[in-house]
Structure 1
Amino acid sequence: MDGSELTASSPGSTTTSAGHRHSPSGPAGSRPDGTAHPPGDAPRWSRWVPGLTVAWWLAGAVTALVAVLTGRHLPVGASTPDAAGTIVDSVPSDSLTAALATLGLFGAAHAAWMTSRAARPTTRRVRAAAVTVSVLVASLGVLFADTSLLARMGYLPVVLVRAPFDPELAGAFEQYVAPAFLLQLGVLVALTLLVVTTVLFVRRSSGACAVCGRLDPPTRDHRVPAPVGKTSTTPSGIVAWGLPAAIVAATIPCLYAVTRLIWVLGYPLGLDPEMYEQDAGKLVAPAVGLGLFAVVGAVLTLGLVQRWGEVFPRWVPGLAGRRVPVALAVVPATVVAVAILPAGLSMIKGLLEMPPAEVLASWAAFGPGVLWPLWSVALGVATAAYATRRRGTCRLCGRSPSSATHRVAR
C-alpha cells in the first residue's frame, strides 16, 4: 500500500468516531465528530510558511545574482575578512556568490514544487526524494556559516551587562549587524524555512494533518475507531529517543563549560601556559560568560524531559503551576541546534588545518568543538521528541492523544 492509501474505504481520507470522513490536510479541516472549526481557530503558520520559504530563497538568489551581474560579491569567501572561519573561507568570493545565486534559485524551485504538490497524494518514494533533495540543499547552505553565530549568541548576555561600563564591549554591537554575520543569519533562516516546508509537504501529501502530523490509528475493519483512552504506556517513535538525546545534548556543553571555568580558576587546562599568562585578563570575562551560557543551556535541555519543562515549578513567581508553552521551549532549542552545527563543522575544519603540535598544546580551546555536530543532532532529536510528546488536541484536525496516535504513512 502506498502513501495515498490511508484507509480501506478511500484514498487520502480518514475515518472518525462519527463515521465521517475528512481530509486533515485541507485548509480548514474539521473535528473528529464532523463539526467544523470555529473561524480563526486553526493555526495559520502552516499556510504562510511555504510561500514565505519560496519568497525568502528567491530574494536571496536575486541578491546574489545582482551582485554577480554588477561585478561585486557577497561577504563570503577568501576576500572577506569578516567571514574568516567559514568552511569555505579559502574559496574565491566571486565563485561563492555565484554558487549562492544558483543554490537560491534551486532552493526556491524545490520549495515551490513541494508547495504545489502538497495537496495531492504522493507515494513514499516521491516523499523520500523530496526529503533527500532538501537535505542536500541544507547541507550546502550550512557550508556558508561558521562559529560566529553560536559565539555571538553566547557573548550576548555578557555584552548586554557590561556594555554600559566598557566602551570596548559597547563597540561589539557592531558585530551583530556586520554584513557577513547577517548573511549567515539569512542563510540559516532560509534552511529552517526549507525544513518546515519539507515537513509540511510530507504530512500533507501522505494525508496526515499538516499541523500535528497525526493519522487516524489503524483498526481491524478500518471503520471502528480505536477505543478512547487505549494508549500505550511505552513511548514509541521519536519520543522514545527523547531521554537519551537530551542527556547527550546536556553533557556536551557541560564538557565545554568545565574547560572554560577551569581557566577562570587560574589553571591553564589545555592551553599554552605562556599564552595563558599573557591573555589571562582577556580570557576571564568571555570564559565566564560562555561557560555559564553552556551550563544554563544544559539545564534547560534537561527540561525537555523533566516535569518542570512542561509545568512551571513553584518557585517561578506568577507562573507556578501553569503549563509551559510549547513554543517557549521549542523555538530557542531549535535556534541553538541550528547554530551549533555549522559552528562544530567550522571547529573541525580549523583543527584539521592546525599542526599536530599546536593542537596538543591548545586542545581545550578547540577540542570540545569536535562534539558539537553530535550536540546539534542530539538537541534536535530531544526538541522534536518534546514537541511530539506535548501535542494536545489539534486545532486543525481535532485529533487528541487519547483518540488518535501518530502513525507514519507508508
Structure 2
Amino acid sequence: MSTSTPRTPVPTPTRGPGRRNQDAAAPPGAAPPARAADVPRGRWVGPAAAVLWAAGGLAALAVTLTGGTLAVGDANDLSFGVLTPVPGATLTPWVAVLGLVGAATALRAWLGGRHGLVARGDRALTVAATAVVGLGVLALTDASILARLGYLPVTLVMAPFDPVMRAAFQDFVGAGPLLQVALLAGGALLVASTWRFVRRAAGACESCGRRHDGHDHAWTTPEASARWGRRAALVAAAAPAFYALTRIAWVLGIPLGFSPDDVADLAGDDGWIAALGLGGFALVGAVLTLGLYQRWGERFPRWMLGLAGRRVPVGLAVVPATVVAVAVLPAGVSLVALGLGEGQLALTADRWGAVGPMLLWPLWSVALGAATYAYWLRRRGTCRTCGRG
C-alpha cells in the first residue's frame, strides 16, 4: 500500500443548516486543507495559561521555601482590599497553593478533550476548580487596579511636569501592582482556556463554539445576541455614566451626593485632577460601550477621516472592553466587601455619591462582559478552525 500523502482532501457533508463552507477531512496522514494552514485563533490561550500559572506557582513556592514574603496582604502598602490586614507572610504560602492548583487546572483545560468527548462530571470538576482559583484571584486583587487604570491617562500627561505624578507612575510598576496584574491576567486566561475545553469536550468548536452536529443554541444567533446584547450594553454604559456624573459634578463644585465641605477640600488639595481623570475615563468608557450595539461600533463613522466607512476590527472593541470588565470585577467586589466589613456603606445624603456608584461595579463587570460577548457573537464570521460561518 502506498504511504504517500494524498494532496486532495476528502470532503465530508455539512454538519448544520446555513453553513457557508463545508468541512474538508482527510485520511490519516493526509495534508490539511489550505485554509487549515492558518493558525486557529485562540490556540495559544491554553498553553499560555498553563505556563503562566506553573511559573507563578513555582515562583511563589520558591519564595515560601526560602522564607520570603510576596507583596500581598499587609506587605503591599498600595492595596486596600479585604485581605490587606492579613500578614503577607501568612498569605504567601496560600498564593503558592493557588498557583499550583491553577497550573494543574490550566494543564487539564489545555490538554483535555482532544481525543473525543469528555463526561459531564469531568467537565464540571474542571469548571469548579477554575471557579475556586478565580475566587482566590478576586480575594488577592482589589480596586487599586481599576484606580490605576483610571489614573493612567492623567498620570502619563502630567508626569513630565509634576513630581507627584512621576512618583505615582513609579507606583504603577511596583511589586504589589504587578503581582495583581499577573493574577488577573492568569485568571482571565484560565477562564478562557476552561471555556475552550468545555466547548471541545462537549462536541463543539473550541474557537467559535458552534456545535459539530449543527444544533447551536438559539441565543447565540446574530439576531438573538443583538437583542440581549443591546440590553447588556445599556446596563454596562449606565454604571460608569452614573459614576462619572458624580465625579464631574464635584469638579464643577456641585455637592452631588457629597458634602459641600468635602467638595471644597477636593478643590483645595488638587483632588479635582483625580476626580476629573476618573470621571472622564468612566464617561468615555460609557460612550464606547454603546458602540457594542450601535452601527458605528461596526463601521467607523463619517467624521473619522481616513477610516470613515471601514469595518471596525473586532479585536479593537473586544480586547479593551474585556480588559475593563476583568479589572472592574475585583474592584467592585473588594470595595463592597470592604465597605460591609467597616460599616461604610450607609447611603446618607452627604455620602451616597462616594460609595453608591461603586456598588454597581460588579453588575457593570458582568453586563460589560455579556455585551462584549454578544458583540463578538454577531461579528465572529466564518471560523478558521471549523470552517462554519
TM-score by length of 2: 0.86
Q: Does 371-380 or 120-129 show the bigger shift?
A: 120-129
| Corresponding position: 1:260 with 2:247 | yes
| Corresponding position: 1:34 with 2:29 | no
- Contact 1:49–1:196 (8 Å) recurs in 2: yes
1:309-344 CA-to-partner distances (Å, cap 9, x unmatched) read 111111111111111111110000000000001111
In the other structure, the counterpart of 2:7 is none
- Between the aligned partners of 1:194 and 1:21, the Cα distance in structure 2 is 32
Q: CA deviation at 1:163?
A: 2.1
1:227-274 CA-to-partner distances (Å, cap 9, x unmatched) read xxxxx99833x5542111101000010100110011011122223433
Alignment partner for residue 278 of structure 2, among 278, 286, 290? 290
| Corresponding position: 1:249 with 2:245 | no
Q: CA deviation at 1:355?
A: 4.6
After superposition, the Cα gap between the structure-2 partners of 1:311 and 1:75, relative to the gap in structure 1 and judged at 3 Å, is same
- Between the aligned partners of 2:41 and 2:99, the Cα distance in structure 1 is 22
SS in 2 for 1:304: coil
| Corresponding position: 1:117 with 2:95 | no
| Corresponding position: 1:388 with 2:377 | yes
* Unaligned stretches of 5+ residues in structure 2: 1-10, 16-20, 26-31
Q: Does 38-47 or 335-344 show the bigger shift?
A: 38-47
Q: CA deviation at 1:359?
A: 6.0
- Between the aligned partners of 1:170 and 1:37, the Cα distance in structure 2 is 54
Alignment partner for residue 56 of structure 2, among 32, 48, 60? 60
- Contact 1:53–1:111 (8 Å) recurs in 2: yes
After superposition, the Cα gap between the structure-2 partners of 1:349 and 1:80, relative to the gap in structure 1 and judged at 3 Å, is same
Q: Does 37-46 or 99-108 show the bigger shift?
A: 37-46
- Between the aligned partners of 1:180 and 1:315, the Cα distance in structure 2 is 42
- Between the aligned partners of 1:132 and 1:395, the Cα distance in structure 2 is 30
In the other structure, the counterpart of 2:362 is 373
- Between the aligned partners of 1:234 and 1:274, the Cα distance in structure 2 is 51
What is the total number of aligned residue pairs between the two structures? 362
- Between the aligned partners of 2:345 and 2:313, the Cα distance in structure 1 is 49
In the other structure, the counterpart of 1:139 is 135
TM-score by length of 1: 0.82
In the other structure, the counterpart of 2:205 is 209
2:384 alignment partner AA: R
Q: Does 369-378 or 205-214 show the bigger shift?
A: 205-214
Supply the RMSD in Å over aligned alpha carbons: 2.4
In the other structure, the counterpart of 1:70 is 66
SS in 1 for 2:159: helix
* Unaligned stretches of 5+ residues in structure 1: 1-17, 23-30, 220-231, 401-410
In the other structure, the counterpart of 2:329 is 341
- Percentage of pairs with the same residue: 48
Q: CA deviation at 1:356?
A: 5.5
